[in-house]
Structure 1
Amino acid sequence: MSREPEMTATPLTADAPAAAHTRAAAARVVDLHKVYGKGEAQVRALDGVTLDLARGEFTAIMGPSGSGKSTMMHCAAGLDAVTSGEVYIGDVDITRLKDKALTTLRRDRIGFVFQSFNLIPTLNAEENILLPLAIAGRKADPAWFDTVIQTVGLRDRLSHRPNELSGGQQQRVACARALVSQPEIVFADEPTGNLDSTSGAEVLGFLRRSVDEFGQTIVMVTHDPVAAAHTDRVVFLADGRVVDEMREPTADKILERMKRLDVRVKPDAQTHDAGA
């Protein structure tokens, strides 16, 4: 999808994160800290992140290697426990939930798309898409299922198993699986990382349509400026903090911003996140 609007950027500090948008938040994190290890081996992955993620919006989380972007997403999605701070899905503070309640909330209100697809090889595409609902003992809404299948463009491949599908088709199956339960928010961690440029563009186009046509909320961690240019808003992390944001992004503007962030953090040899 060709998108070349002008960029509007708002410089941020750790004390003044991106919260100026008027839409209600589908999810938010408040003064989020995540620390791994103790003593000299301690790694501070997140250092006071506060961020609102607006409903019906496509947000990219970017930053240099070690900036804490994947850790932030995993904490926001309830996949990783926080050291301190609050994480809300809607009005529910998930940091206060017991394991069973958190599992139920993730199943019923959150969708996930990951770089590795995570499809079950013995199930066909339709069975993979419906698997989360089957586990929950629920049936798909027929009209919504039909809409998702039509949008994902794999109606003639539903009987095929993952090894009979291309990488792009497998990831579109994974996207459909994330959307079929009609979650409040979808978290996508490098969803195009294992795909060629054509397949990646197909997946990004599908995610973009799900926001524009269905009002879905999507948060995507990515290192790719081209992928991030499909979103409405890019939030930049560095050293475990929110340091900037950009609306109506373009790949060139994102790349320029990332270069500046990379230069800023390079003198500090200590990264704050063992992952991304």
Structure 2
Amino acid sequence: MTTTHSGVPTAARTTAVAARATDLTKVYGHGETQVVALDAVSVEFRQGHFTAIMGPSGSGKSTLMHCMAGLDTVSGGSARIGDTELTGLKDKKLTQLRRDKIGFIFQAFNLLPTLTALENITLPMDIAGRKPDRAWVERVVETVGLSGRLKHRPSQLSGGQQQRVAVARALASRPEIIFADEPTGNLDSRSGAEVLGFLRESVRELGQTVVMVTHDPVAASYADRVIFLADGRIVDDMADPTAERVLERMRRFPGGRAQAPAPGAEGHAG
């Protein structure tokens, strides 16, 4: 039996699909001002896997994530979370799906300043009128290293700790998939590495599915797989990435630039 760099035996990993895009198209504007942000993109995100989405500015990577997460409408094609087709869902059903099946982590931590860390973590479930699974929340809190900070408010936490709270909030309701948009963009390298480590651990230990948009080859090296977009199309698909391989691929884009990996970054993948 072979083992992936994430530490999960290959034969033990699920082949079930958490989310799928089929010929997904997103067009902004009309006529001469029309911009095709996504051009018939087809891709699957498997359960229990960590996928990074990369590409030059304007490549469509954030648009793809927003369409797959139900945060933006699509112009054509299909977007599914599990067996649920997002296109055509009424607002109420779409809100319910995002609340019940999807977790979000953004570059801005989006914590409520008047609530404690624990209250921020359980807030989505409180709003939905669902009782948190206490044992699961405790496991999540332990996984992200927040056990001693649950009574602190955001102003009493560092940026890295605030993003840990955001990660725990995304994990706490056991969503089918977590979408992370530049989750380390506001963090220093050490805090960013910690948060990426927690995301990696949530996949390995908790069986979570994570899809992350990033511009950083080091961040991408934590993933099982990297999808590269350019001009609204998928142009490459890399398994078991390292920071160096990702950086080299990014450099091959026209005018390609990417953030250079820190020394020793190749070991981050786990």
Q: Percent identity?
A: 68
Instruction: Output the CA distance in 2 between the equivalents of 1:22 and 1:217.
Output: 11
| Other-structure match for 1:250 | 242
| Other-structure match for 2:172 | 180
Q: Which amino acid aligns with 1:219?
A: V
Kept in 1, the 8 Å contact 2:250–2:256? The answer is: no
TM-score, normalised by the number of residues in structure 2? 0.89
Equivalent pairs counted in the alignment come to 247
Per-residue CA deviations over 1:37-93 (Å, capped at 9, x if unaligned) read: 111111110011000000000000000111000000000000000011110000110
Deviates more, 1:34-43 or 1:210-219: 34-43
After superposition, where does 1:124-163 map in structure 2 within 5 Å? 124-163=116-155
Per-residue CA deviations over 1:157-179 (Å, capped at 9, x if unaligned) read: 11111111000000000000000
Whether 1:200 and 2:192 are equivalent positions in the alignment is yes
Whether 1:69 and 2:61 are equivalent positions in the alignment is yes
**One of 141, 144, 156 as aligned partner of 1:164:** 156
| Other-structure match for 1:121 | 113
Q: Find the residue that maps to 2:25 and give its secondary structure.
A: strand
Q: Which runs of 4+ in 1 moved over 4 A?
A: none
Instruction: Output the CA distance in 1 between the equivalents of 2:254 and 2:80.
Output: 30
After superposition, where does 1:38-53 map in structure 2 within 5 Å? 38-53=30-45
Q: Which amino acid aligns with 2:49?
A: E
Q: Find the residue that maps to 2:87 and give its secondary structure.
A: helix
Kept in 1, the 8 Å contact 2:79–2:86? The answer is: yes
Instruction: Output the CA distance in 1 between the equivalents of 2:219 and 2:21.
Output: 24
Q: How much has 1:263 moved relative to structure 2?
A: 4.0
Kept in 1, the 8 Å contact 2:180–2:213? The answer is: yes
| Other-structure match for 1:231 | 223
Instruction: Output the CA distance in 2 between the equivalents of 1:110 and 1:133.
Output: 12
| Other-structure match for 1:54 | 46
Instruction: Output the CA distance in 1 between the equivalents of 2:249 and 2:190.
Output: 25
Q: How much has 1:96 moved relative to structure 2?
A: 2.4
Instruction: Output the CA distance in 2 between the equivalents of 1:262 and 1:231.
Output: 24
TM-score, normalised by the number of residues in structure 1? 0.87
Q: Find the residue that maps to 2:135 and give its secondary structure.
A: helix
Q: Which amino acid aligns with 2:171?
A: L
Q: How much has 1:264 moved relative to structure 2?
A: 7.6
Q: Find the residue that maps to 1:176 and give its secondary structure.
A: helix
Task: Return closer, same or farther for 1:22/1:215 CA change in 2, 3 Å cut-off.
Answer: closer
After superposition, where does 1:81-96 map in structure 2 within 5 Å? 81-96=73-88
Instruction: Output the CA distance in 2 between the equivalents of 1:99 and 1:203.
Output: 32
| Other-structure match for 1:36 | 28
Instruction: Output the CA distance in 1 between the equivalents of 2:42 and 2:81.
Output: 14
Q: Find the residue that maps to 2:235 and give its secondary structure.
A: strand
Q: Which has the higher contact order (CA 8 A, sep 6+)?
A: 1
Q: Which amino acid aligns with 2:202?
A: S
Q: How much has 1:236 moved relative to structure 2?
A: 0.3
Instruction: Output the CA distance in 2 between the equivalents of 1:226 and 1:76.
Output: 24
Q: Find the residue that maps to 1:87 and give its secondary structure.
A: strand
Q: Which amino acid aligns with 1:132?
A: P
Q: Which amino acid aligns with 1:104?
A: Q
| Other-structure match for 2:98 | 106
Q: How much has 1:155 moved relative to structure 2?
A: 1.1
Q: How much has 1:262 moved relative to structure 2?
A: 3.4
